[in-house]
Structure 1
């Protein structure tokens, strides 16, 4: 409980999204690569019905069943769009991706909504992110974009941020 509270407080202070700190292996089990994501709410409802996250939600132990929902999102590691059942979260000010290594939705700290388009709201639900303008640069993400730190050992000046 203390870890979760600390994570919420730090996220609130930074103005970033609040995401679970724990991996959810149940999410990776539901992952399917897709050519594209739904472009309307109606298409999203249909895709969610086909994916059936509500059935898996009762079995998983990552979150409350009501928060385990359909997402169509860019996968950082696979470099493709995926449909996945994952924890629905409030997103504030940044773009998000799905990271199969950590089995969860991750913020992209160096790509902020305010820097890209009026079509990307400052706050939105992770389950609706695909309905807004695609965050630019997702196809070329680096660990620096994901963490905000340059982990290049040959250039230690960039490691301090």
Structure 2
């Protein structure tokens, strides 16, 4: 085999090895718009699947990966000072590292935090979509936050935000104005119907009073 051929093969092998080592990190613009801070990440598979169903990442329009590979994640933020829920391409994680979401790179990647200690130690390689199994990644952040037993109160996209006075007023207008209009129209119809009935009754009574006079004449 000639030298150029050997160089190409060696280059391909090195590239493949680096991709495996890095867990195939992939930048994805769509991830940036799904990132939401949260107080706590899911603690078990049921909570994780519940949040994944709410985010419905596979339905998001993106061209980074196949829809089934664009998955829900709950990871550290890039400063390792909080937690974020985000849709991102799933990946393999190596060297017992926790994950964080890098906003500049628009991807999830290994952080400086290890998950090599705790009740459940993470293996040397695991799927990013199974991060809920290794709660030690979140412990440092959770200790800085007041414990919240209701997982992930913010629902993508911000459906659980409190209603402000302006929104409450708009809701009241949209409910009560049509209701008042309907009541008014019904009242008018009832009044008209009752008025017509009274007029017919008056005409009938008036006719009955005239008839004896005509007979007498």
TM-score by structure 1 length? 0.68
Change (3 A) 1:120 1:18: same
**Partners in 1 of 2:33 and 2:12 — Cα distance?**
24
Structure 1: runs of 5+ lacking an equivalent: 140-161
> Does structure 1 residue 10 correspond to structure 2 residue 15?
no
Change (3 A) 1:4 1:124: farther
1:82 aligns with one of 67, 81, 84 = 84
List per-residue Cα deviations over 1:36-87 (Å, max 9, x = no partner).
000010111101011111211xx20111111100001111147321110000
Change (3 A) 1:97 1:73: same
SS of structure 2 residue aligned to 1:49 = helix
Q: Size of the alignment, in residue pairs?
A: 130
> Does structure 1 residue 51 correspond to structure 2 residue 59?
no
Match of 1:30 in 2: 34
Contact 1:31 1:83 (C-alpha < 8 Å) held by counterparts: yes
Contact 1:77 1:100 (C-alpha < 8 Å) held by counterparts: no
2:46 aligns with one of 42, 45, 66 = 42
SS of structure 2 residue aligned to 1:27 = helix
**Partners in 1 of 2:110 and 2:15 — Cα distance?**
14
- Residue 126 of structure 1, CA deviation: 0.4
User: Which has the higher Rg, Structure 1 or Structure 2?
Assistant: 2
Change (3 A) 1:137 1:37: closer
Match of 2:93 in 1: 91
Match of 1:19 in 2: 24
> Does structure 1 residue 65 correspond to structure 2 residue 67?
yes
**Partners in 1 of 2:126 and 2:53 — Cα distance?**
21
List per-residue Cα deviations over 1:2-47 (Å, max 9, x = no partner).
x9975441254xxx44133x52110011111110000010111101
**Partners in 1 of 2:89 and 2:19 — Cα distance?**
17
**Partners in 1 of 2:40 and 2:65 — Cα distance?**
27
Runs of 4+ in structure 1 displaced over 3 angstroms?
A: 3-8, 110-114, 135-139
2:137 aligns with one of 128, 135, 138 = 135
Contact 2:23 2:92 (C-alpha < 8 Å) held by counterparts: yes
Change (3 A) 1:91 1:106: same
Structure 2: runs of 5+ lacking an equivalent: 1-10, 142-217
